[in-house]
Amino acid sequence: MFLAWLIVTGGIAVVLALGWSLVVAGLRAGDQAGDATVTAAADAGQVAIVAVVRNPGDVPLVAGFSARRRLLPGWLDAGMTVRVPRRTARRKFRAGAHETVGVVPAASRAEFRLPVAAPARRYRLTAVLGQAGGRLRVVRIPVVSGGSAGAGRPARAARAGDRG
């Protein structure tokens, strides 16, 4: 009887610890007031992706973009993702690791055109946004171009503020 009670109590403790760690991660990576939003679409006339960053905050932000071809089909892809990494001094977050880097003034929007190496139907746009307070957000957005998917239409849930 004591062994069963010990196992159940230990299981409850593990579930509570995992749940708390998910709550902490969600609060750290979740949307906050003043977070920038990113939208992306393929440019129908050229082999390029157009990314639009809206900065509602009162501090300018630095944005770095890179685009690459997506090999996975859309139904197997994770869709739009947003991460807030803890270790931000890594090489992949530096300006030299991105094809296009720019500054978005406070309380405004900016449009960035990213050339892509080869024409493809599906791309993945990676936007690294350095915001106020040293907060770095990494937004990955699937972009569909041409064909039956609709020329230049963003893939489903292609805005950083969307939840679906």
Please tell me whether residues 87 and 51 are part of one structural domain: yes
Please tell me whether residues 131 and 72 are part of one structural domain: yes
Please tell me whether residues 65 and 136 are part of one structural domain: yes
- Specify if 157 maps to a domain: no
The predicted model gives 67-86 an average pLDDT of 79
- Specify if 159 maps to a domain: no
Q: Regarding predicted confidence, which is higher, 97 or 104?
A: 104
Average pLDDT taken over every residue of the chain: 79
- Specify if 161 maps to a domain: no
Q: Regarding predicted confidence, which is higher, 36 or 90?
A: 36
For residue 143, the domain's CATH number is 2.60.40
- Tens digits of residue pLDDT in 140-158: 899 887 643 333 444 444 4
Please tell me whether residues 53 and 129 are part of one structural domain: yes
The predicted model gives 129-144 an average pLDDT of 85
The predicted model gives 76-91 an average pLDDT of 75
Alpha helices in the chain (DSSP H): 2-29
* Structural domain range at position 142: 33-149
pLDDT of residue 14: 92
Residue 94 Cα distances to 27, 28, 52, 66, 138, angstroms: 25, 21, 20, 12, 12
Q: What pTM does this model have?
A: 0.68
